[in-house]
Amino acid sequence: MIKVSDPCELCATPGGEILWESPTCRVIRVDDPNYPGFCRVIWNAHTREMTDLEPAQQQHLMSVVFAAETVVRRLFAPDKINLASFGNMVPHLHWHVIPRWPDDKHFPEPIWGATQRQGSFSRRVVSHREWAAALNETLNMTEHQN
Amino acid sequence: MIKVSDPCELCATPGGEILWESPTCRVIRVDDPNYPGFCRVIWNAHTREMTDLEPAQQQHLMSVVFAAETVVRRLFAPDKINLASFGNMVPHLHWHVIPRWPDDKHFPEPIWGATQRQGSFSRRVVSHREWAAALNETLNMTEHQN
């Protein structure tokens, strides 16, 4: 049985290296060698569900998720994007933004599904600096600094 | 190896019993006895990614997803909601809205993860008619008929 997090690790820690942050949410890097480009958008306050947010907050958070998707597509050129918000173990709103390739470890299963193959590691290498700059540029352009 | 859908089954069929529909998207019932309340929000046009939609379309689709979440929470009283958009097998935008309970088949894993237990079936029974009416009422209230 996997232990459900208590106290909340997304309140206690950033949850990863921060690529971009605003007063309401942050984008962090997930360092999974099978999924370069995998990042999470984490709401800063300890909120459980999207429908516990006000409509303007929902819209803001999703606009950051979609900006993160735009940047991942541009920098890592995946075949497909997967988006997911679960929070079963850590019930603090966070979105997974996951680049997928037909030769990755789990394709076409979700990354939480059964392993399909070893997976290829010949992906483009993107530095933290380049990724952070692209996010900053995209989010500034779309005026999502609130 | 799981076969990737071709031609697109979400263009060729509704993808399930329709609970609510508009000119741009539809909500269908997923009849999984482990997850009563599980539904999908499907974009009607064959679009691959959220960032292939215009911002107003993204916002509209997410508002329907969040309306579906509101209704599932009210009617089925789950402990947690899971939201996901993958499209690895059927690359046609669709959102999974999944009610979760601590005694369900996979909790705290995503439903695509390893089975944790048999799972309880003592959930509230909601008729198609009641569910459709609640969705219609919620979506009318929030004026998402476009």
Q: What ipTM was predicted for this assembly? A: 0.93
Mean pLDDT of B125-145: 88
d(CA A13, CA A46): 12
Residues B83, A85: C-beta atoms closer than 8 Å: yes
Q: Which is nearest to A91 in space by CA: A18, A1, A2, A11? A: A11
Helix (H) / strand (E) containing A17: strand A17-21
Query: What is the pTM assigned to this prediction?
Result: 0.94
Q: What is the pLDDT of residues A67-124, one digit of tens each?
A: 999 999 999 999 999 999 999 999 999 999 999 999 999 999 999 999 999 987 788 8
Residue A4: helix, strand or coil by DSSP?
coil
Q: What is the pLDDT of residues B20-63, one digit of tens each?
A: 999 999 999 999 999 999 999 999 999 999 999 999 999 999 99
d(CA B52, CA A70): 9
Chain A residues with beta carbon closer than 8 angstroms to that of B1:
116
Q: Which of A52, A72, A81 to mutate to test the interface with B (most CBs of B within 10 A)?
A: A81
Distance in Å, alpha carbon of A9 to nearest chain B alpha carbon: 16
Helix (H) / strand (E) containing A59: helix A55-76
Q: How many Cβ atoms sit within 10 Å of the Cβ of residue A18?
A: 14
Chain B residues with beta carbon closer than 8 angstroms to that of A70:
51
d(CA A64, CA A69): 9
Of the candidates B49, B63, B110, which has its C-beta nearest A112's C-beta? B110
